[in-house]
Structure 1
């Protein structure tokens, strides 16, 4: 099957080894999927333009970056943002 990296984050992904998704059972052709619908519940407006050097007063927070501000470990975007942010790798906690 021709599963691509976006498949794991798509609403149509089947989460089974028997087929990739409901739209493309054997995976999208040519490694590109025009039917991708993000299953992520939160994300920065433009993750490609994120620049740590240009962080605003709150731009460092994981709700904007998706990563721990201390060790840069990514937080899951497949669940709603937590009320209390805590990194499982380094132990960083949000003081808010």
Structure 2
């Protein structure tokens, strides 16, 4: 089986006379391995996470519960000024300052964005 000198220092080295690597069972065909891990004592990061949570910078973060159903979220695309550019109350046009706007309240008719 093809073995390169780096195999002995790899995290995936099998230390078995019949297997070279736990990833590449037949060995590698080149002079280097794309799956080489140079730290044999490295901790393997667990990528599993519970439903509703994700890892951010190595810390498990629980995602907030969605208060709207998928159908309600799709309806929001049809009427919310962030997507349409117009007030749903009076039809007034909003300025194109989407990156700085937090609240979508209309000065003309008094419509207030209560989705936030």
TM bucket (normalised to shorter chain) is: 0.3 to 0.5
Question: What TM-score results when the alignment is normalised by the length of structure 2?
Answer: 0.33
| Greater strand content | 2
Question: What TM-score results when the alignment is normalised by the length of structure 1?
Answer: 0.39
Q: Which has the larger radius of gyration?
A: 2
